[in-house]
Amino acid sequence: MLSAPDLQALREEIEAIDRDLLAQLKRRMELVDEVATFKIKAAFPFRDQQREEQVLQRVRHAAVDLGLDAHVVERLYRLIMEMSISRQHAFVRGLDTAPLRIAYQGVEGSYSHLTAQRRYANSGGGVLLTGHATIKQAADAVRTGTADAALLPIENSTAGSINETYDELAEGRLTINAEVISQVDHCLLALPGTRLEDLRRVISHPQALKQCEDFLLGLPQVVPEPEFDTAGAARKVVEAGDRSLAAIASESAGEMLGLEILRRGIQMQAANATRFVDVAIEATPCPADAVCKTSLLLALDHSSSNLGEVLTELGKRDIRMTKLESRPIPTAAWKYRFYIDVEAHADSASMVEALESIRPLTLELRLLGTYPKAE
């Protein structure tokens, strides 16, 4: 039986450990501030749910190894992680210059994230990147004011248009302020030591699967399966621990997750590139002397000749069309909206004249944005 002095000594030792724990927690929060500074400058997302799950998985395994209750330890670490996220946001609010808030579709290591990182890293005032599961969620973040802008994929040079982005533009309240062209080099990623003949499933975003269709046809034993994101698919390979599973994603995603690159450049076209558009609520003026593009949305009645007349009005004024896309109008069966990209400034004399001539031919005519043409 413990005597009172012995019990007091144990309590004092516990209190000393508690002080050490709190000191370590304080140091952790100081490191969180440093991480926030890096993320803002280098354009890394503050929060990545899948990455958090990986951290929690490691914590659970460590708890078991130490003879601790893994479920209780996980709850504790979830609280610590929420505390860290709150600390990062408080750090941002305390900055003299608020960072630009950018939404994108995907997770860290996805092509959208890598493109956003290249575009916004080291910009004045910093950048706060936030990944979303869908293009709609990224667009809605702009509409609700939780993001200043979103970088959305709209077209791939191999697989064609990305309809979800066109549909979000039709929803309204978004203006295109810039376009970005990003080279896409797909890799086949798997657990270290995996051979091609081991594979039975390959997962990735539907666009990536389509862009690598020829390569996949050369693996008759493999079944392609769609996932919401390329980097997210790569993480599923890690989590599954299954050598029959591989993902199509970027080299960066593979390096980040410790996956082996079985094949590089597996897309059908070597010059595979994705065009992204930067959308916001407010329009950013496009310099009058810049080589500009203008995006239009048109709704036409059932007369098939109207589209031809629209294109004629543009051609008469030497306005070069670079893209024509049609999408069904959900509320009107067999009626379509048309999206037209032209090389012209919306305020140029020829474009103003063209719009005046086109308007009577349309049920709806909307200017989606004038922005500098990407190289």
State the catalytic residues. Answer: 274, 276
Span between the terminal Cα atoms of the chain, in Å = 81
Give the Å distances, CA to CA, from 178 to 9, 152, 181, 296: 67, 11, 10, 14
**Rg (the chain; Cα; Å):** 26
Report CA torsion sign: 118, 119, 123, 129: negative
Q: Distance between CA 267 and CA 216 in Å, rounded? A: 10
User: Quick count: other Cβ atoms within 10 Å of Cβ 230?
Assistant: 30
Q: How many residues does the chain have?
A: 375
Q: Is 96 exposed, middle or buried (0-12, 13-18, 19+ CB in 10 A)?
A: exposed
**φ and ψ at residue 103, rounded to 5 degrees:** -100, 150
Q: What is the DSSP string of 2-51?
A: --HHHHHHHHHHHHHHHHHHHHHHHHHHHHHHHHHHHHHHHT-BS--HHH
Alpha helices in 172-205 (DSSP H): none
Q: Distance between CA 176 and CA 293 in Å, rounded? A: 10
